[in-house]
Amino acid sequence: MALSKKDVRGLQIMAAVAAAVAALFLVSHQLSSRPKVDERGCPTDVARSTAVVIDRSDDTPSQTIEEITARIRRFVAERSQEGELVSLFEISGASRTALKPVFSACVPQRDGSDIYENRAKIQRRFAERFEQPLDRALAATPARSESSPISEAVIDLSASRYLSAPANRLIVFSDLMQNSANASLYGCRSAKAAIDGFRAARAGAIERPTFRSTAVELNVIPREGLGRETVACRDGFWAWFFGDGQGEGAGLTSSMLPGGAKMQ
């Protein structure tokens, strides 16, 4: 028996109502399934953490600074994951006893579905809560410092909440010329002597960091005029320093940045 136009119209209305109810249910499910977050946009259990350390205690060429910024932005765009805690630290004399991030937030949702989400709103929230604050932190003028306590800062981070997730990443931008009361690599001729001196100065504290499930990436700021012996000593010191990595994903990679300013 053929349906009347009125019956067809009724069925169409019922189908539209059913579709609307299903859409509302889907949106409600999507919203309720998202974990609650704190003031940094982080869930209760952070699955991934990345700490970015920038050491610009000495003069750094503009092309080097631009590349540092580009690499950090590329990391955020291509490798960071939603919910990952990203923290940015700058090394100075003050960081020896007051190491605090200049930026720290979890990566928010950066895109969405046209079907049940407001993509423009999601993208705007990502820019306002994460991308723009990070850009401001990167653009800020770093504090000049006579000392460069790189190793002490890295040790403190290795034992902190900033690298305590099941999977972690430490990205360092530095010329790796450690210079503090505990050790100075300026004029260094023996890596063993530098290591022994540093360990003696650190007796009673952590002498060498232990990285658990942490991938360490060194981005080396070039310095001209160091001398081959000093370079060999520096490299030997850091090979020892980063030599205790444990767990899945642990490892050490190194790459040079452009530039080549003379040591001050």
Q: Pick 31 or 109 by higher pLDDT.
A: 109
As a whole number, the mean pLDDT across the chain is 89
Highest mean pLDDT among 53-62, 74-83, 138-147: 74-83
DSSP-derived pairing of the beta strands 245-246 and 214-220: unpaired
Q: Please tell me the predicted confidence (pLDDT) of residue 20.
A: 56
CA distance 153 to 150: 5
Phi-psi region of 179 (alpha: psi -120 to 50; beta: other; left: phi over 0): beta
> pLDDT (tens digit, 9 = 90+) per residue, 154-179?
999 999 999 999 999 999 999 999 99
Strand partners, 105: 86
Phi-psi region of 219 (alpha: psi -120 to 50; beta: other; left: phi over 0): beta
Q: Please tell me the predicted confidence (pLDDT) of residue 31.
A: 46
DSSP-derived pairing of the beta strands 85-91 and 103-106: antiparallel
* Alpha helices (H) along 34-130: 62-78, 119-126
> pLDDT (tens digit, 9 = 90+) per residue, 68-112?
999 999 999 999 999 999 999 999 888 888 899 999 999 999 988
Q: Pick 93 or 221 by higher pLDDT.
A: 221
Q: Please tell me the predicted confidence (pLDDT) of residue 24.
A: 55
Q: Please tell me the predicted confidence (pLDDT) of residue 27.
A: 47
CA distance 146 to 64: 20
Residue 125: both structure tokens together: 């929230």
Measured in degrees and rounded to the nearest 5, phi and psi for residue 244 equal -120, 80
Counting other chains too, the contacts that 115-122 makes at CB distance below 8 Å and 24 or more residues apart are: 115/23, 116/23, 116/26, 116/27, 116/30, 117/27, 117/30
> pLDDT (tens digit, 9 = 90+) per residue, 181-212?
999 999 999 999 999 999 999 999 999 999 99
Q: Pick 240 or 146 by higher pLDDT.
A: 240
Helix (H) or strand (E) holding 158: helix 150-158
CA distance 151 to 221: 16
Q: What pTM value is reported for the model?
A: 0.85
pLDDT band for position 22 (cuts 50, 70, 90): low
